[in-house]
Amino acid sequence: MTQTTADLLLELGTEELPAGPLLSMAEALENSILEGLAHHGLQCAKSQVFATPRRLAVRISAVSLEAPEKTVEALGPPVTAAQDKQGDWTPAALGFAKKQGVEVAELAVISTPKGDRLGLRRTESGALATAVLPEILTDAVANIPVTKRMRWGRERHEFLRPLQWVVALFDTQVIDLTVMGIQSGRDTRGHRFHHPEAITIAAPMEYEEALRAGYVLADFNQRRDLIKSQVEAIAQGLNANAVIDDALLNEVTGLVEWPVALQGSFDPAFLEVPAGAVISSMKEHQKYFHLVSDEGNLLPLFITVSNIESSDPASVISGNERVIRPRLSDAAFFFETDKATPLADRSTRLEGIVFQQKLGSVADKTRRITALSGWIASVLGADDDVAQRAASLAKCDLVSDLVLEFPDLQGIAGAHYARNDGELESVATAVEEHYWPRFSGDQLPHSPEASAVALADRLDTLVGIFGIGQVPTGSKDPFALRRCALAVIRLLVNLDTPLTLSDLTARAAQEYPEDTLAADASSIVTAYILERFRSWYEDQGIAVEVLRAVLATGITGPAEVNRRVSALNAFAGTDAAVALAAANKRVANILSKSGQVRSGKPNPALFQDPAENKLYESLEGLKSVVSNDISKGNYAAALSQLSSLQTPVNTFFEDVMVNADDPAVRDNRHELLAALRNAFTDIADFALLSGGK
């Protein structure tokens, strides 16, 4: 049987690559090769990427040896311009035929959307893989995204790290190409220490096993899973729980080719230091996984992942323990030194830290959020003294030695220092929790006082930055305004408070000196935060039209918005909702075209059709109960009541000519429709739902 496909392998061997971009670079290489194959019409089966600190590789199975034949169509002049009145070929037709290298008689008439054209169809042979692969692979390497390039050699080649070897195989044959001065071959390298000798790859499908024999696990995901299972196994043997952060796991995976997890320990005395500092020392600087008890308490243990299978693992562990001790000693020293100065006494140093050039210092921000926190807390019925005290201390740890060394301890360090100073536990807790949520899905503050400070901090930032015209654009969001807006939404929904964004942003703007912010800063920020609801609901699978229908009512209270959206989303998929949405759309169009504002108060004496009376009676019968449900925030019950209008509404539109000849009757029917529309717009604008399209 004639062979029609072959497997492809490309490996770039390098000096040690940074762990961060490792996998994304390999995937970019894969995508470029696949695009190149597709461009030339070459089919393939599955592809796989490999990435280790010393190599980026792509293997693609069953690549077509030859692309199928293709019909190429060349269009010439319109038929009407191809011959003159005597039937002779025009210069346009003769010139086109000459350009195509054929006689004019060989041209055909080809129909196009713009009319018949003179043209030529010819069949061309498909591309040969062996002919185009060198170009495809060379271009793919050139297209690998590299942020910082290194130069090496006399020819000044540039890549993230110097290239050492290139493996390029198509089936068992070497693809002849030169990449950054390196000639391709079939020899790769094994582990730098365990197997530094060359390894010959006979064919692409032998790649993984050949490297495994050389102490290299080339598959990134396989290596990642192995590290995770090793770490978990060690933790289980210690009756502890390993905290395996995905980002750290990916980074460690990118640092090793032959992972071997080992368990070490540190002096339990360091547990007196805030756990965050200890964890940061191990995680950020040494890439260790920390261990906790079943109660979540940090244990004086860690797990490191070595890149060698040592004959003396105890020495490797001892070396790691020696390395981590100075880092933990530094953290302990900073912590003890900081405690000698009361947290409140550090506030004066905040004057020298710029929050934003036009908005003043961090001390200015602290004064603003202290006032705003007290106001929010009082509205929430919380302890405004606690909220204000916490707000006044919230940023003081920014000038502590511990936070300067470990920035991710903001708030955590402050809470420790507040307790050390004898502050109320509620104040200390609020100092830490005012940073919550730190990211999407993070926990929320536990107390209304902490929530008040968290809201004040974010609202001050949003109103201030928007107020001086620094709106986030594209990927540029230096003050994390998108995250701030989502946090405000989550905080207010969780508090289930009637507080509105209009009131909150207006109050936040008042704390700034006069003429600092644009006059419309409050309204712009309110609109911005409400728009962020969109991504929040998308994550929950709620259609944006549901949100828009609710926001069309003009409400700006996130808790109120959420109640209505939740109820409307549950109702929107019912048959009644679809029918009533369509009816609302129709009503909205009719009233819009009438050109008059209607009060929604029809005169029953002018009704001429039983369907008018039935709809009016149905609306009147529901008015009080629906109003009562809405006043209690029970929107699901209100919508259930309104669903009973489906039949009288349908009957009305089937039996009644809305735009009657008699102006009085016509106007009265418009008033009836306005009453119908008002019944729904008290909850949401049903005309914006898909059933109304």
Residue 472 tokens, joined: 């986030």
Find the range with the poorest average confidence among 66-80, 155-169, 323-337, 667-681.
66-80
Which residues does 148 contact at the CB level (< 8 Å), separation at least 6? 160
Name the residue among 289, 396, 288 with its Cα closest to residue 345.
396
Poorest-pLDDT segment among 239-248, 515-524, 624-633, 684-693: 684-693
Task: Specify whether the CB–CB gap between 654 and 581 falls below 8 A.
Answer: no
Percent above pLDDT 90 for the chain: 68
pLDDT at 165 over 90: yes
pLDDT for 451 equals 98
Q: Give Rg (Cα) of the chain.
A: 35
Closest by Cα among 566, 528, 529 to 547: 566
Q: What is the 3-state secondary structure (H, E, C) of 187-203?
A: EEECCCCCCCCEEECCC
Question: What pLDDT sits at residue 691?
Answer: 53
User: Can you list the pairs that 24-29 forms with residues at least 24 positions away whose Cβ atoms lie under 8 Å?
Assistant: 24/145, 25/51, 25/56, 25/144, 25/145, 25/146, 25/160, 26/50, 26/51, 26/56, 26/57, 26/58, 26/220, 28/143, 28/144, 28/145, 29/56, 29/58, 29/140, 29/141, 29/143, 29/144
Residue 76 DSSP SS3 = strand
What pTM was estimated for this model as a whole? 0.76
94 close to 104: Cβ distance less than 8 angstroms: yes
E strand or H helix at 665: helix 663-681
Tallying the residues shown for the chain, one arrives at: 693
What does the block give as tokens for 125? 């042979």
- CATH architecture of structural domain 344-541: Orthogonal Bundle (1.10)
Q: Work out the pLDDT band at 170, boundaries 50, 70, 90.
A: very high
Q: Which residues neighbour 505 within 8 Å (Cβ) at sequence distance 6 or greater?
A: 459, 462, 463, 521, 522, 523, 525, 526, 529
Fold for domain 5-67+128-213?
A: Alpha-Beta Plaits (3.30.70)
Long-range contacts of 619-625 (CB under 8 A, 24+ apart): 619/645, 619/675, 619/676, 619/679, 622/679, 623/679
Question: pLDDT tens digits for 127-142?
Answer: 899 999 999 999 999 9
User: 201-258 pLDDT, tens per residue?
Assistant: 999 999 999 999 999 999 999 999 999 999 999 999 999 999 999 999 999 999 999 9
- Confidence (pLDDT) at 59: 98
- Look at residue 693 and tell me whether its pLDDT is greater than 50: no
The dihedral of CA 373, 375, 380, 381: what is its sign?
A: positive
DSSP secondary structure code for residue 2 in this structure: -
Top-confidence residue, 118 or 206: 206
Residue 124 clears pLDDT 80, i.e. is over it: no
- Distances in whole angstroms, Cα of residue 452 to Cα of each of 339, 380, 385, 469: 27, 8, 11, 26
Residue 99 contacts by C-beta under 8 Å, 6 or more apart in sequence?
none
Residue 159 token pair: 């890549």
What pLDDT does 255 receive? 96
Q: How confident is the prediction for the chain on average, in pLDDT?
A: 92
Which of 27-31, 199-203, 674-678 is predicted with the least confidence, judged by mean pLDDT?
Answer: 674-678
pLDDT tens digits for range 274-286: 998 999 999 988 9
**Could you give the strand order of the β-sheet that contains 173-174, starting from the edge strand earlier in sequence?**
47-52, 55-64, 5-14, 163-170, 173-174
Tell me the percentage of the chain whose pLDDT exceeds 70. Answer: 99
Tokens for 480?
A: 């994390």
- pLDDT at 33 exceeding the cut of 60: yes
Whether 344-541 and 565-692 share one fold: the answer is no
Helix, strand, coil percent values for the chain (each to nearest 5): 55, 15, 30
491: enclosing H helix or E strand: helix 481-495
pLDDT exceeds 50 at position 447:
yes
Interval 73-89 mean pLDDT: 84
φ, ψ at 686 (rounded to 5°): -60, -20
Domain 565-692 in CATH 1.10.730? The answer is yes
pLDDT band at 1 (very low <50, low <70, confident <90, very high): low
* Domain ranges within the chain, ordered by starting residue: 5-67+128-213, 70-124, 221-339, 344-541, 565-692
